[in-house]
Amino acid sequence: MSKKKRKVRAEFRKNRTPRARDKNWSQAVDPDADETADLVNRQSVTGKGELTRKRTVADAEIAEDDAGVTVLPAIDPETCRLGRVLRVQGLINLVQLDDGQIRQCATRRLLKTLATDQRHVVVAGDRVWVRPEGADEGIVERVEPRRGVLSRDSRGRQHIIAANVDQVLIVVSVAEPALKPHLVDRYLVAAERNGVTPIICLNKVDLVDRADLQPVVGTWAQYGYRVLQLSATREWGVDALRELLAGRETAVSGQSGVGKSSLLNALDPQLGLRVGHVSQENQKGRHTTTTAELIPLSCGGFVVDTPGIRQFQLWDVEPKELAGFFRDLRPYVSHCRYPNCTHDHEDECAVKDAVADGYLDLRRYESYLKMLANEPA
């Protein structure tokens, strides 16, 4: 992370700038007049003055963090307080200040008008500077640079699921709904991309024969991924999971209906999170968690409980970089004949040869090809 203090020429959103062209000039025409020589008959549309989307933000900083490049406006440390975002609900950010006080805060207009690839300006887990207002309200003046980001692509924009976390629990069920190994692989790539430790949680193992899980579990485990086989209803593996979460900050993510809230309730019964049921018709869960929330655990540490997702598209992963985020494919990449090999159709590809010889798992390789083709999860 690096910072540089200066006057920043920042780009603003389209709907926050003046119209580039005056569209009311025809209303000034007098139909009874003999001539219109004095009317403006052309307009210049350039990137200068009021017609540009860029503005100068004085005394700001440019920061490079795990979420990209951001602008950090100046704040007054005498009046502002540092806090942590617990939850974002519509236009209101629930922020816990450094002294434990909780305030409902709006977001500074400057932060909302700056052009960014991010879907939301403030997310759960953010460290922010707040200017207190009234008894329990405030204004979020600045968002500090993020680390440990879990994000995905959402219609061409970055959807940050959680920020400032050490690890991510990839919660999937082995039944009701069925296990989706390809979805897990996408989470693993995103975790590798952002330097977040992944922990694969296979929930509802009481509903299946655990021996049937060994092929896919063994594939992940042999490359160093931590895999837990859990049952929230019978509390299998809950103690081991509690040890992994104690004293750490963890994002909990997965599909609806896989039992994320049920697992957290088993870990800490005092949470009392609302849980739902899986539809018997389509084997899909319902959204019981509607917004990401930072929750303290009685065993120490925090978790970011997130809403269920339908798809997980990778964000900011170039096709040429993708194989490097697969721990199993990575050792073979440098042995391909072509330095720009995509490991898809090229001849003398070390990755394809390793798959054919049985050194690489075929399912994992097919998962790589789906991500390379940008197919939905």
Q: What would the pLDDT profile of 20-45 be if each residue is shown by its tens digit?
A: 555 555 555 566 655 555 555 555 55
CATH 3.40.50.300 assigned to domain 150-305? The reply is yes
Q: At the top level of CATH, which class does the domain 56-141 belong to? A: mainly beta
What pLDDT sits at residue 248?
A: 96
The Cα 369–Cα 343 span in angstroms is: 8
The Cα 270–Cα 48 span in angstroms is: 58
* pLDDT band of 51, cuts 50, 70, 90: very low
Where are the CATH 1.10.40.50 domain residues in the chain?
Answer: 319-372
Architecture of domain 319-372: Orthogonal Bundle (1.10)
The Cα 290–Cα 69 span in angstroms is: 28
The larger pLDDT score, comparing residue 42 to residue 375, is at: 375
User: Residue 177, preceding bond cis, omega within 30 degrees?
Assistant: yes
Per-residue pLDDT, averaged over 61-81, amounts to 82
Where are the CATH 3.40.50.300 domain residues in the chain?
Answer: 150-305
The Cα 233–Cα 362 span in angstroms is: 33
What pLDDT sits at residue 22?
A: 55
**Side chain identity at residue 107, one-letter code:** T
The Cα 355–Cα 71 span in angstroms is: 45
Least reliable range by pLDDT among 68-82, 274-288, 345-359, 360-374: 274-288
Where are the CATH 2.40.50.140 domain residues in the chain?
Answer: 56-141
Q: What is the reported pTM?
A: 0.84
Give the three-class secondary structure for 242.
helix
What pLDDT sits at residue 285?
A: 46
